[in-house]
Structure 1
């Protein structure tokens, strides 16, 4: 179709068309003058015009519009307007051009883009229907204006109201809206939804030392890594400061969520390169799942917040699932922290010692001291739990120094061939008179400096450079041995090894665990670390070894010193003294020692179900693969139970050994880490399933669990048995 001029269009349509364009206003100008004025108006860009026929094909459009759209005029004329233009969407809300044109009614404010140029100019169209003889629809006449700047400005304003201006992630308001609307919809559909709360560790230190500009750049990089780490449908937001939030729909498998949280933590603790320097931070993660932990936005966010608080209190750099016991646990943990001062004053703390074995001779060359607590009410708090309690305490430096003094005092009584290794908390290392305290502890005990081995974390290198270097130099002069701890944990730097005269490198335990897979990259990294240490005349230490295959792999790599359960768990003072009484302690790991699931000692009442009967028993210990229960008599091997671990956690288990009133159980599906050293089931019985069965989640009653997740047992073929005192038959 040839180009149609405005003058030709108007003259062919007559005076009525002209009146439609100028609104019917009276004028003393002639038609020619009016046409000339409209031509000038088009050229100026202040007013553009378009027209269509009854079938919606474009019959006229100002050449200026075509130029703004960057589409040749010839490609526009004669084409259906619905194929030429597409609505300019904003947050998925856009008027339909086809509906507007099909209604044959006047319209205004229609924002469109050229279909061929979706990122091009934005026009605002207005149209007036034209009717011919007998009221027959003849098409549209209308105007257009370029509103690109206005549209993008409004779009940016709307975006800033929903998204974080620094990272581009959803902001607090949008996250709250998304979680609330999702949970509302999911309640009706009985679907699951997980919410993660993330908080960065040591971010304040970056802000304080490198400045706020560096802190902003760091947050941008964190947002990018977080987006890459989560390879599934999700909504990610920054709530402000260094706090982030993630919503993951349709996931309630705590094994999957735990792996994802661990992946996020690992990615966020990798080194960051900023304009003002290099830095390393960490992250803690709290996880809550709807509908198990709540059904409203407020309930789920509060649960995830509590889990995050527990993760940070547990030592940071870890994840934690919400459980109903967290509030009580938080209160109890605070009380324990408050009692630390009393523990120090009243000598409630004591040491256990973990052997460090020479790989070639299999003799104990050193022992690592671990702090435990004989609490007056709680009883023995082992080294792992104690480390979590003391991590965030203001007394961590005092506890660390007590451990060094006590270790020196004990070690002086041992053969000279056995060294004592003690972990140094970062606040203690950076304290003003640390070297003087070490010298005093050695002098007081009468211990040779070379028999004290200080395990120093890479985190000390983020302190004041002059203080760190001076402390390391003075420790070297003093003659104590130094080990760089957790090397390969994600932010190791050769600069640390150049700056400090370390005697040995302790390879990160997670890297060691991964090295058991012979074809893994981690095994190559272990070999590289061993080669590096050898070139620098340093020894290597690998800990956490539980299996014979891993032991063989590490020995083959050339790691000189080894420690872990395959040799010995940490032992008390009297056991250690007996073993080294002859001047040497040799440990044969033995071929029969293979990887075993670590059993956590517990002592609490639980319910187990069999054949529509519920029994109350005592749970004595728990591992990933099974449990030890007490309270039932005459239970044959092969008996199947549903074990209620609380909070909707039902595990199908089979009796594998039975003696008197005690039974060993093997789970049908292994438990998973809860992020804090505990164990939990992958899935929980859905509150929706319980509600449909007439059973509230908070009060699991005896009855049939058939059809529920984790609750199906072979009720027909399982052997019968009675219950002993302490069990309850219903």
Structure 2
């Protein structure tokens, strides 16, 4: 405040700029007061000093006032620049000279003060006080002037022995000095507050401008009548209007479309209207709007605003158009309930439908039925013609099934070549048999797929509730037992569940017994399928696939023995063997090649699984970052907390975690939010759909790839079998590719040979 600064000191320099800028604005006033104060002084001293000396002193006062005013007016831009030390010293010296000019006659002609007119002296002192107070914006200058003036005014009375007058002079000087300091402090506080508010306002303005320019969101504001005000360009663009057209319009009219006139507003718009009416804040409110004749989704947040008197003056907030995100989220969420390849309800939705039907049957004492359908000879189609033909065949099967469904029937796909039908109202004893035979007849007709005429039959097993079971799980299991009976009989037939049905259970028991001894008999092997980089086609990793060649049953399909292993928890020792064997084999490969091993829910829920992973890595010498464990979303359905805990332990070792079969079962975005996966594997059904330019498949793959990129994950497209599929997957941005186009599952020796050829190709 006193101006004792260094020129490089930014904040004090700013204070000095404020002080001297105000000094420049009051220069004319101080000039007038300075000159006016000299007039009664001349009247006091001219009798003692003579007219010539008094007049000369007056001329000097006017000249000093002019010089001081000219100097102070140069400080007009002091608030915008750094004042030099020379400028400050020059002004302080001039103020000191002005004080000395006033002190000189008070010392030299002190007798005149004693004999002079008291009113004239009072006017002079008052005007000098006004001058000092007007100079108080620069307190150093004010103190210098009043100090010199006060000392000069006290010397005369002291010389003449009038100590009371001297004391009065000192008291006057002290009061004026204190007032000057108080005014200076108050002025600086006011100016700093103004500057701070202006700076904050400028910062807010810059931030809002930056927000408007670089954000996809926009700002909106309405007055107390809910009419939009201050329409920003981005908000006007969202409304598809010019800012001046939208300004002053009711916000609900702008976004309700035709519903404004008819009164038929979406519930989300009514919710928005209620919140605005109740003047309550809201955040991330999803609102369905209609702008430009098109339905859109906006996400709005708003806060009531009030004027300086505390009166409600409207709302201000932020909004964004989330139509694309909403549609993508709905597509992904739909995966949890519908099969993407066929468009039919998936296992989850079928289970819900059966639960509802069973509950209704219990309540109204009626019957419902569950039919399980398995395609005969479908595996042969896949093996000989490939998955692309097989997928098209499944799509045609689904279309034929839809035609057969009645008002209370629901058909869906359980997975693979298994379908199911829920009959919610079965009053006729023969209705289930008629439906089953109609399914067999329709599905057994020839199919025309890509210039191939294909014949596949269908086997059907059924169970009626609540007669055969009173729970969903038991009813589905009994229908499955009946289906196995149909398959055992050669297929193409329908069997209803019977309590005496033991054939399937007996076969399962024998398979289970053989599976328990498969490890000690060395009947299990691993096959390895390559995963390549989508851009360079270089091998990045292999997926280890379990195979069982039973001495009793011959080659047993994984689809057959793995469910048995999981049900009996044999999957835990078998999975440990597979993990150790895969790590041992991968340790022989080049250091940049990774190995992926499938892990079942039973393994993940085993308390010692993390220790098993550590042991497998240690014994094989394989680096943890070269091991990736593939899990499906089913691991979270039984005990999600335990599964997440195990995943965290494994990830802390440095191993990768891949989410397999994403979108084909119980898909949930919550799994991606709560777990740090390294890879999302996109199911072949989506790859096939994308190659056929299916809008749904394209949208879903784009959404999954974008989501994976945002979460720092890689994506692997499964089941790529053609160049068209490869090109489309590359266009969609998938990171890695796996499929017959780059290699079928192979033995360990073949995998090493393939790696050797890949290395030679790199060198070449």
Using the size of structure 1 for normalisation, the TM-score is 0.41
Q: Which has the higher strand share?
A: 1
Q: Which has the higher helix share?
A: 2
Q: Which has the larger radius of gyration?
A: 2
Using the size of structure 2 for normalisation, the TM-score is 0.39
